[in-house]
Amino acid sequence: MTDRTMDDRSFAVAQALILETKKYWTTRLYPALKENYQHKASLQETPPQTVADVQALIGETTDYQVYAWLERHLQRFKYSGRYGLAPYHRERRDELLAPLAEMANSAGLDTDDNFEQPKYYRAVDIHQHPGGVWSAETAGFEYERGARSTTPMMGGKHRDLHQRFTDLVATGGTPSRVLDMGCGFGKSTQPFYETFGEARIDAIDLSQPCVTLGAWTAAQAQAQNTRFRQMSAFETDYKDEEFDLVTSTMLIHELPPPQIDRMFDESLRLLQSGGRMVHLDFHELPDVFSRFIHYGHGRRNNEPFMEPWAEMDVVTVLKEKGFKDVKVHSFSEAEGVDAINSPVWRFPWTVISAVKP
């Protein structure tokens, strides 16, 4: 057994403190900042028109500096602080990985020890996760624990966002062959294999630790219709027209624009005629203040492609590629939540869907 520097209780208490502080940031600091901004904007002859105008107006205020500092450093404490997710799980490596050994040679998992990661993926510790979601053997567990508080206002009171998204997809029909791109540890895949029990589902991600955990979780749930594979969304080995549904949740904003382009091309290639592509990501930003806040979030969370993705005219891009019925619309994080004018901080959840003619 590895020597431990952190007991379970101290870890749980520290993580709970971080989460409660994040809720304070979400429900108190964000509304105060917004109110302050609106007041300052109302005194301007011309209200801010661009993100740079918002920066000039409030970027140096104490409200914004404290807000931004807390966003950056709460995330840092969550992952790599004294009681962070990375040290906690890495100390417990052996016991965490032991159950996953049964996945070797399982039909539900396909990984490659010599897999070459794209440069953009290696270059940044996404989410401030030390080594990203892929390089440590325990990264899947770290990401799973971290993802429990990605949407701090949900608190288990609402139906899970991923299930609600799957329900929305189900309103368009029941698919028989599904590809979940950028599946992570399978949080987005799970409602698909539970909802579409008759479908054959493939879930792909670049991260070996994540797909391994996803496959193990699916095996525990007896989801024999599902397979997890280590593979890039913009370069798969599937044959043309293999799927009638290609989906992703929170993948697109992690891709550089040229790779987004390739991922859309790949989706078109993989879909049968009449097949659907439905993605959930962050895109619809109703005003310059939301845009300023979201771009800052991308920088503070080490997500460098958040901004170019939000700037992309995705409707035009998809139409030019030959997709039809292209739709882009906001998606509420939970029932009863105003996705566009939320009084508290929320992600700008957006559904991007299109059909192959």
Shortest Å distance, C-beta 15 to ligand SAM: 19
- In a 3-state reduction of DSSP, which class is residue 78? helix
Contacts of 178 (CB under 8 A, 6+ apart): 192, 196, 199, 200, 201, 202, 243, 244, 245, 246, 247
Among 188, 190, 212, 247, interactor with ligand SAM by CB under 6 A: 188
Q: Is 351 in the site for ligand SAM (CB under 6 A)?
A: no
Applying CB under 6 A, the span of 19-27, 56-64, 204-212, 335-343 interacting with ligand SAM comes to: 204-212
Q: Is 133 in the site for ligand SAM (CB under 6 A)?
A: yes
Among 131, 152, 184, 209, interactor with ligand SAM by CB under 6 A: 184
Among 58, 204, 288, 339, interactor with ligand SAM by CB under 6 A: 204
Nearest to 75 by CA among 39, 119, 21: 21
The number of angstroms, rounded, from the C-alpha of 175 to the middle of its chain's C-alpha atoms is 23
Shortest Å distance, C-beta 37 to ligand SAM: 28
Task: Report residue 49: phi and psi, to 5°.
Answer: -105, -25
Is 353 in contact with 326 (CB distance < 8 Å)? yes
Shortest Å distance, C-beta 46 to ligand SAM: 37
- CA–CA gap between residue 317 and residue 325 (Å, rounded): 13
Applying CB under 6 A, the span of 39-47, 221-229, 243-251, 325-333 interacting with ligand SAM comes to: 243-251
Burial class (CB in 10 A: 0-12, 13-18, 19+), 305: buried
- Taking the least distance from each CB to ligand SAM, the nearer of 121 and 289 is 121
Which H or E run contains 204?
strand 200-205
Among 109, 179, 199, 206, interactor with ligand SAM by CB under 6 A: 206
Among 89, 90, 129, 187, interactor with ligand SAM by CB under 6 A: 187
Among 87, 146, 182, 275, interactor with ligand SAM by CB under 6 A: 182
- CA–CA gap between residue 160 and residue 194 (Å, rounded): 13
Q: Is 233 in the site for ligand SAM (CB under 6 A)?
A: yes
Among 128, 138, 190, 249, interactor with ligand SAM by CB under 6 A: 249
- CA–CA gap between residue 74 and residue 84 (Å, rounded): 10
> Site residues for ligand SAM, window 35-94 (CB under 6 A)?
none
Tell me which residue has its CB nearest to ligand SAM: 184
| Radius of gyration for the alpha carbons in the chain, expressed in angstroms and rounded | 21
Q: Is 131 in the site for ligand SAM (CB under 6 A)?
A: no
Shortest Å distance, C-beta 211 to ligand SAM: 9
Nearest to 334 by CA among 151, 192, 190: 151
Compute CA distances 95 → 1, 26, 99, 138, whole Å.
Answer: 8, 35, 8, 10
Among 71, 142, 205, 307, interactor with ligand SAM by CB under 6 A: 205
Handedness of CA 21, 26, 30, 32 (dihedral sign): negative
- Taking the least distance from each CB to ligand SAM, the nearer of 64 and 295 is 295
Q: Quick one: tokens of 94? A: 């052996």
- CA–CA gap between residue 340 and residue 348 (Å, rounded): 7
Among 199, 210, 213, 293, interactor with ligand SAM by CB under 6 A: 210
Q: Is 121 in the site for ligand SAM (CB under 6 A)?
A: yes
Give how many residues touch ligand SAM by CB under 6 A: 23
Among 251, 268, 288, 339, interactor with ligand SAM by CB under 6 A: 251
- CA–CA gap between residue 267 and residue 279 (Å, rounded): 11
- CA–CA gap between residue 22 and residue 174 (Å, rounded): 38
Shortest Å distance, C-beta 290 to ligand SAM: 20
Interface with ligand SAM by CB under 6 A: which residues?
121, 133-134, 147, 181-184, 187-188, 204-207, 210, 232-234, 249-251, 254-255
